[in-house]
Amino acid sequence: MGKYFTLILVLVLCSKLSVAQQSYTEHTIQKGESVYKISRQYGVHVNAIFELNPGSRDVIYAGNVLRIPNSSNTTGTSSNTVITENKISNYIVKRGETKIGLSRRFGVSITMLEQQNPHIVSMLQADHVINVDKSIEEIKPVAKEGEHYVVKGETLWGIARENGISVAQLEAANSDRLSEFLQIGQTLIIPDKVSIDTSSDEYIVQRGDTKFSLAKRFNMSISELESKNPHTVPMLMAGHRLKINDSEIGFDPEAPSDAIEVTEMTEVTDVTETKPDSSLSTTNYKNYVIEPKETLFSLSQKAGMTIEELTNLNPKLLTAVIAGDIIKMPIGVSGTTVNTSSSAGTNDTTDTVATADSNNEDSTTKIYSNKNEVLFANLDTETSNGIYFYTPFSRQELSSPEERQKMISINSEFQKYIDFFQGSQVAIDSAKALNLNFDVTLIKKNIAKSNITIESPHNKNAILVPFSDTSTTFPSIDSNAPISIIDIESNIESSDSITVYKSIPSETTQITKTLNYLAQKNSNVIVISDLDEARHKDLISNALPEAKFLKVDNAGFFKSDALEKVLNKNRLNHIVFDSDKTIVLLNTTTALMGKLSNHNIQLVMLESSLLPKQSEVSDMRYRILQLIFPSTSNPQNKIDITDFENKYEDLYSAKPTRHAILGFNVTFDILLRISQDSSPDNLLNTTRSEQPHLKFDYQKTTDKTFLNTGIYLMQYNSNEGMTELQQ
């Protein structure tokens, strides 16, 4: 009888399961459809669709499949919940839902959501009850004097520009309220509009102030100024409160500026020629030949003009100060002059480039020394070294806006070379400020040549090769002195005549570093992919032989109980996500967050390129799942990054592109390394270094090849934002 009863029970359960499995219809999403529109089409509640398709709360894609429950099986969110086009009543918040998700779902702003539900302002929690009446007009917050209320679409750059201040000033005044991203609805302090009472012993830094001018104004050295105000050591910012302790303060309006100026943010423009000021008469100027070692600063001093006036008169100086170039200078300035009919010279295979100098006592370059103590401690400023750039441009083409534009019109890819060299120019200026001694030479790329002969007077030399075509074989090098090839995304193969240093870490390096970290943790590793074979299965299996592989469907759904079976309640579970589909990430992370109450889970990505844009996936998911991912740059190194960006914008009135960032970081690092007081054989592979964006840790892979393995391993933290993991 007992067996018979058990059989009946099993049959009943199977029958219910069969009914449950057939209680939905599959709908292929069409372009322009929304979850709400689909729910109306099938006569079901949107919540019922969300429950069967978790990732659809954030985004859906045409071509993907949604599971639509049969209308007879849907009961809505709760028995008391009512959702219409104009009103939401008694909606109960579910675990994993966010304010931004609810605002999109209900078609209201987060501000309206919070105004009508003040209990969610501090934090949205599961089981909160939401009521929204769309007929009630949203109350627009009014910012107080000296404040700014952030609305949708605004950026820090736009707010700073609107208020006539720099981004650095805005960030300094709001350091206690700015997180990684600007938030809609938050209030920012505008430093120039905040009235601050100062005593005779204090001074509030104004826009345009510099350490040099302030030190002179208050009759002290820069070292004394920094000693009394250590918060200004990394960077002087508008709004900083300085301790002066000197009641007799004089003001010198003619005090010169130093290297760290508090400047206004300028409008981002293309790299184009600046038209000379029409008020500058050409009859009072002569043609002047730039001499070796002359700089923009020294030329402006010699001309008795400001740098802005000199560059308006000679737009080519905005790109570089090149020895031998002809510029206009006031009559009476000593130096070599030429007639207007004279030729500027022929274009040789190699062109020597003189670069901008800086003799200011206060150089921001010292910021970078904090992380490169070994390099800075062993600099040789007496011996001259050689730096070469392998480029499609000649000296004349690179320095002429017309020639550059002509080449870009032929091949738009040339723009990245221009950006790279502009970043390199900032690095060269910074290195000159350290009194490093080097000569810079351009080698014009010529695919017809299979050999480059270099007669160098230097014992240490390096050729930087950015973005060379992979289809082009790099020429062999005949040099009378040791020389190293610095590969910047060029895929150069080493040979008997050349040693190659690959300066940008590869994707394989990112993957290997991340896997090696996981191997040290003795965790339960689960690899999730939407393919039959994970893309990096061989690398993963070699590093983590006990890793489990789990496949999801194209929408990111697991088979019944598949995830539960591989998770371990007694160990840390590292979930390695190996897919580039956003919908798969959304549904997978939703499933993982549902398991957090009983399991210790951390999400892992092996490549930074797999991270979707923030507009597609909220980083709150990453914080909840404590995402671990590799990165070639350090997103926390904001001081050094801001310093570089300010310098770049001062020179080129534009924000640096990725290629300009590479130009600065690689060039500055190589200039430090090549200037070490060591033998040429010990040139690049002896010291780890860290520049504003990139880390450099060259490791020997073959006799003639060195690979930069400098990778940051980052982890999202729910409380602190993001931290760097120790490898």
- What pLDDT digit, counting tens, does each position of 579-620 carry? 888 888 888 888 898 888 889 999 999 988 787 766 677 778
Q: Are 562 and 588 in contact (CB under 8 A)?
A: no
Which pLDDT tens digit goes with each residue over 274-329? Answer: 333 333 344 467 778 787 767 777 787 788 777 767 877 776 676 567 766 778 88
The answer to whether residues 571 and 658 belong to one domain is no
Residue 155 lies in a domain: no
Residue of higher predicted confidence among 261 and 15:
15
Which pLDDT tens digit goes with each residue over 412-427? Answer: 888 999 999 999 989 9
| Alpha-carbon span 51 to 32, nearest angstrom | 22
Residue of higher predicted confidence among 627 and 219:
627
Amino acid residing at 129? V
The answer to whether residues 496 and 372 belong to one domain is yes
Residue 314 lies in a domain: yes
Domain of 315: which CATH number? 3.10.350.10
Q: Domain span at residue 11?
A: 1-76
Residue 569 lies in a domain: yes
- Helix, coil or strand: residue 333: coil
The answer to whether residues 520 and 553 belong to one domain is yes
The backbone torsions φ and ψ at residue 544, rounded to the nearest 5 degrees and listed phi first, read -130, 80
Instruction: Residue 58: count other Cβ atoms within 10 Å of its Cβ.
Output: 22
| Alpha-carbon span 421 to 466, nearest angstrom | 9
Residue 445 lies in a domain: yes
The DSSP 8-state label assigned to residue 230 in this structure reads: G
290: which 2 tokens?
């730039």
What is the model's pLDDT at position 252?
35
The answer to whether residues 405 and 468 belong to one domain is yes
Instruction: Quote the number of domains for the chain.
Output: 4
Which pLDDT tens digit goes with each residue over 326-381? Answer: 788 887 766 655 543 333 333 333 333 333 333 333 333 444 445 677 788 788 88
| Alpha-carbon span 269 to 272, nearest angstrom | 8
Domain of 671: which CATH number? 3.40.50
Q: Which residues contact 602 (CB under 8 A, 6 or more apart)?
A: 572, 573, 574, 575, 625, 626, 627, 628, 715
The answer to whether residues 290 and 326 belong to one domain is yes
Distances (CA, A) of 117 to 87, 91, 123: 13, 11, 11
Q: Which of 631, 660, 677 represents a domain boundary (last residue)?
A: 631
Domain of 612: which CATH number? 3.40.50.2300
Q: Considering only CA atoms, which of 670, 720, 136 is closest in space to residue 424?
A: 670
Q: Which residues contact 548 (CB under 8 A, 6 or more apart)?
A: 524, 525, 526, 527, 566
544: which 2 tokens?
């983590």
Quickly state the pLDDT bin for 577 (edges 50, 70, 90): very high
Residue 455 lies in a domain: yes
Q: Are 589 and 58 in contact (CB under 8 A)?
A: no
Give the angle 201-235-239 at the CA atoms, nearest 5°. Answer: 45
Residue 182 lies in a domain: no
Residue 552 lies in a domain: yes
Q: Which residues contact 392 (CB under 8 A, 6 or more apart)?
A: 407, 414, 417, 444, 445
Residue 118 lies in a domain: no
Q: Considering only CA atoms, which of 54, 9, 5 is closest in space to residue 557?
A: 54
The answer to whether residues 653 and 608 belong to one domain is no
The answer to whether residues 499 and 512 belong to one domain is no
Q: Considering only CA atoms, which of 264, 267, 217, 277 is closest in space to residue 242?
A: 217
Listed range (51-65, 188-202, 526-540) with the worst mean pLDDT: 188-202
For the entire predicted model, the pTM comes to 0.52
